[in-house]
């Protein structure tokens, strides 16, 4: 009822404005002055916006500086693990270039070309990023599109096209069984047959950001040397424009939630997983404690992948309601010239906990009503599963949990933006572990 009333009021106001505008445009005399007034007010608003943005920028720079200082002090003192950084002049760190094989999953969508064109356009060096396209489904038109790339990509085809027999109630999920079967085969090809030691896993319906290869190159040493990391992902599950700081494209996080959708692992992890690889729902299986073993992934503030796969194995509703809003980064960051050691656990955790819990605690209502007298970060605390879900939903965040971990969460903390302010949806300061019953 109240909503209806609101709709009428809004519609009424709009209509009134329209009529006013028409009258105003048709009256030549007063219109010049009014246009001038409107222009002045617009200019003022623009100046305000510029101001806010530059403040936000300064805040980001301060944050990053602080992080880098911590990393310098701690990591240098603790002697960075061998090979983590190549010696570089002037304090900056450069990355010894690793070979990262790019494994693209395809099935029956000829639009794989949209993805492959971007991969070939953005990869800085074919020798460092050999591309394998693994095709399932045996679809001829798709096979022809891939073959069209000639020797620029290695085209392999999943040989087992046998039907998967399932009980009636699971039949509608057959696609997920096929995907898992394909993943097992293709990952084994990449690691066991072609002997790659690091693989970046992509899917045929992903757009990628121009700096994606720099991102994976620069985070590779972290993955190799920090045993508490098990992957690097290009995806922010809460990455829609209204919930991120799109100008903080350099900002990265550790995440206890496995994001997938453009992710890199090493052979060490594959050797651990290959013999128990699941028959279906491989991504949720990865999120189970028995596989994750408390390890984290690196993920960005601003996604380096975005899916355009409206038609696929899962229904298009999730795409329409959520996936299509994920913002793809368009401000390339020179990651390989940056010091990434702040993301090592020993540097990150003390800083992260300190930072999050030093932000003022507020309620959702105070945040929404703009009752906060400063522009710094704030924290909204959740105690129960339902409390988390309710608040997440109101804030337009993903509200689901897998094995107790909220999407993007690190130590239970979900980081996002709300009207130019950094907000952390966080458990109590004495948090120690996830409650596996939260789902």
How far, CA to CA in Å, does 231 sit from each of 225, 234, 418?
12, 10, 28
Q: How many residues bind ligand UD1 (CB under 6 A)?
A: 24
Is 407 an interacting residue with respect to ligand UD1 (CB under 6 A)? no
Among the candidate windows 74-82, 174-182, 214-222, 270-278, which touches ligand UD1 by CB under 6 A? 174-182
* Interacting partner of 81 out of ligand UD1, Mn ion, none (Cβ under 5 to 8 A depending on kind): none
Which residue among 64, 80, 110, 137 contacts ligand UD1 (CB under 6 A)? 137
Which residue among 283, 288, 366, 435 contacts ligand UD1 (CB under 6 A)? 283
Which residue among 98, 221, 260, 404 contacts ligand UD1 (CB under 6 A)? 260
Which residue among 54, 161, 314, 384 contacts ligand UD1 (CB under 6 A)? 314
The β-bridge partners of 131 are 102
Which CB atom, from 112 or from 380, has the smaller least distance to Mn ion? 112
Which residue among 176, 213, 352, 388 contacts ligand UD1 (CB under 6 A)? 176
Is 205 an interacting residue with respect to ligand UD1 (CB under 6 A)? yes
Backbone φ and ψ of 26, nearest 5° = -80, -5
The helix (H) or strand (E) run that includes residue 425 is strand 421-426
* Interacting partner of 399 out of ligand UD1, Mn ion, none (Cβ under 5 to 8 A depending on kind): none
**Least separation in angstroms between CB 23 and ligand UD1:** 49
How far, CA to CA in Å, does 327 sit from each of 36, 65, 219?
36, 25, 21
Is 281 an interacting residue with respect to ligand UD1 (CB under 6 A)? yes
Among the candidate windows 6-14, 170-178, 192-200, 339-347, which touches ligand UD1 by CB under 6 A? 170-178
Residues in the chain: 439
The arrangement of strands across the sheet holding 154-157 comes to: 154-157, 131-135, 101-106, 198-203, 263-266, 229-233, 296-300, 252-255
Q: Are 94 and 337 in contact (CB under 8 A)?
A: yes
Positions in the binding site for Mn ion (CB under 5 A) = 205, 309, 312
Is 307 an interacting residue with respect to ligand UD1 (CB under 6 A)? yes
Which residue among 105, 185, 215, 438 contacts ligand UD1 (CB under 6 A)? 105
Q: Pick the catalytic residue from 72, 283, 284, 435.
A: 283
SS3 406: strand
CA distance 407 to 24: 50
Q: Are 261 and 235 in contact (CB under 8 A)?
A: yes
Span 317-356, contacts to ligand UD1 by CB under 6 A: 323
Nearest to 423 by CA among 384, 350, 372: 372
Which residue among 85, 102, 156, 179 contacts ligand UD1 (CB under 6 A)? 179
Q: Are 423 and 263 in contact (CB under 8 A)?
A: no
Residue 283 is among the residues annotated as catalytic for this protein: yes
Nearest to 149 by CA among 176, 116, 124: 116
CA distance 155 to 189: 12
Which CB atom, from 233 or from 245, has the smaller least distance to Mn ion? 233
Which CB atom, from 312 or from 387, has the smaller least distance to ligand UD1? 312
- Just list the catalytic residues: 283
């Amino acid at each position: 009822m109240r909503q209806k009333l609101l709709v009428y009021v809004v519609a009424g106001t709009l209509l009134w404005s329209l009529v006013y505008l028409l009258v105003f445009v048709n009256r030549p005399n007063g219109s010049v002055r009014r246009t001038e007034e409107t222009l002045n007010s617009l200019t003022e608003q623009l100046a305000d916006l510029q101001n806010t943005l530059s403040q936000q920028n300064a805040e980001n720079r301060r944050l990053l500086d602080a992080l880098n200082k911590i990393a310098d002090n701690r990591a240098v003192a603790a002697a960075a693990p061998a090979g983590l950084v190549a010696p570089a002049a002037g304090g900056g760190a450069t990355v010894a270039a690793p070979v990262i094989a790019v494994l693209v999953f395809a099935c029956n969508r000829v639009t794989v070309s949209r993805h492959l064109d971007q991969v070939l356009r953005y990869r800085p060096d074919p020798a460092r990023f050999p591309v394998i396209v693994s095709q399932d489904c045996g679809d001829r038109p798709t096979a022809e599109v891939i073959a069209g790339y000639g020797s620029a990509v290695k085209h392999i085809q999943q040989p087992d096209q046998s039907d998967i027999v399932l009980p009636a109630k699971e039949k509608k999920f057959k696609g997920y069984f096929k995907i898992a079967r394909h993943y097992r085969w293709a990952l084994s090809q990449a690691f066991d047959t072609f002997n790659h030691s690091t693989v970046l896993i992509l899917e045929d319906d992903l757009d990628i950001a121009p700096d994606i290869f720099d991102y994976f190159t620069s985070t590779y040493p972290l993955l190799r040397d920090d045993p508490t990391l098990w992957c690097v992902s290009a995806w922010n599950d809460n990455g829609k424009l209204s919930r991120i700081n799109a100008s903080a494209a350099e900002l990265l996080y550790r995440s206890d939630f496995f994001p997938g959708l453009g992710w890199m692992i090493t052979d060490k992890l594959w050797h651990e997983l290959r013999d128990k690889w699941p028959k279906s729902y491989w991504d949720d299986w990865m999120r189970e404690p028995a596989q994750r073993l408390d390890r984290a992934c690196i993920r960005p503030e601003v996604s380096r992948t975005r899916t355009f796969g409206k038609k696929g194995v899962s229904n298009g509703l999730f795409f329409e309601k959520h996936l299509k809003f994920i913002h793809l980064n368009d401000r390339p960051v020179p990651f390989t010239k940056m010091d990434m050691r702040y993301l090592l656990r020993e540097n990150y955790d003390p800083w992260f906990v300190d930072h999050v819990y030093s932000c003022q605690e507020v309620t959702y209502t105070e945040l929404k009503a703009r009752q906060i007298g400063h522009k710094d970060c704030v924290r909204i605390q959740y105690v129960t599963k339902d409390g988390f879900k309710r608040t997440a939903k109101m804030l337009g965040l993903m509200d689901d949990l897998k094995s107790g971990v909220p999407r993007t969460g690190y130590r239970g903390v979900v980081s996002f933006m709300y009207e130019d302010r950094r907000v952390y949806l966080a458990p109590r300061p004495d948090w120690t572990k996830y409650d596996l019953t939260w789902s």
